[in-house]
A and B are shown apart, each in its own frame.
Chain A
Amino acid sequence: AQSVTQLGSHVSVSEGALVLLRCNYSSSVPPYLFWYVQYPNQGLQLLLKYTTGATLVKGINGFEAEFKKSETSFHLTKPSAHMSDAAEYFCAAVRQKVTFGTGTKLQVIP
């Protein structure tokens, strides 16, 4: 069965520091991969997605993610954290079904 693992349920960074949120998937055939952001009391908003082609994917709000097949990873990064980035982030993999990770709450410290 497909699974998605997000390392670290809580991540804290200082404003202006690098953001790195980790996501690994388990699948013999690479799935489609997504990152979503969820602000308090809101639904999930698509940040970026990898389907085929270029392995470095750029998304909204300055986020990007790199698909690494050899590492079965799809880590999310942002060079400089902003206070408005504080939210919960979910990685998801799609094959026949959608599988979400358990989420990572990002705290940005001023």
Chain B
Amino acid sequence: EAGVAQSPRYKIIEKRQSVAFWCNPISGHATLYWYQQILGQGPKLLIQFQNNGVVDDSQLPKDRFSAERLKGVDSTLKIQPAKLEDSAVYLCASSPLAGQGTGYTFGSGTRLTVV
């Protein structure tokens, strides 16, 4: 079974620039998550999709972050404009259902450095 694919693996941008990350979940997984992992901290949920609908985006900084999952399969996360504090690893995860008890499969992440 193929895992969760993310690209790019690394990205360096200047502050105020925009950036986009892509995630392709495991085939058939209805639920997709984007997490932000700042160095020294645990992952923080940014947004959760169930198919192509948003279930939870309460911790997404909506003034600069956006995410979509138009066809209920792959997803993109965008930051515009980026700030220095956005430097982090952005992890995508998917699960068959809403995640309770099923666990998640994580991608390798995209490491973003904002300079």
Contacts and interface: CB of A to CB of B under 8 A. Distances in A.
Nearest to B42: A100
A106 B44 CA distance: 21
A98 B41 contact: no
A32 B43 CA distance: 17
A46 B103 CA distance: 8
A51 B101 contact: yes
**B-side binding surface: helix, strand, loop or mixed?**
loop
Chain A: interface size category? 20 to 34
A72 interface: no
B41 A103 contact: yes
Interface residues of B, number: 23
A45 B93 CA distance: 11
Contacts of B104: 44, 46, 98
Identify which of A32, A42, A43, A51 gathers the most chain B CB atoms within 10 Å of its CB.
A43
A32 B103 CA distance: 9
A16 to B, nearest CB: 29
A67 interface: no
A44 B103 contact: no
Given A43-B4, A44-B91, A97 B45 contact: yes
A93 to B, nearest CB: 11
Contacts of A82: none
Identify which of B41, B91, B104 gathers the most chain A CB atoms within 10 Å of its CB.
B104
8 contacts: A42-B109, A44-B104, A46-B105, A90-B43, A92-B42, A94-B99, A100-B43, A102-B41
What 5 A-B pairs come out closest when comparing CB atoms? A100-B42, A43-B106, A51-B101, A44-B106, A43-B108
Interface of B: 4, 6, 33, 40-45, 56, 91, 93, 99-101, 103-109, 111
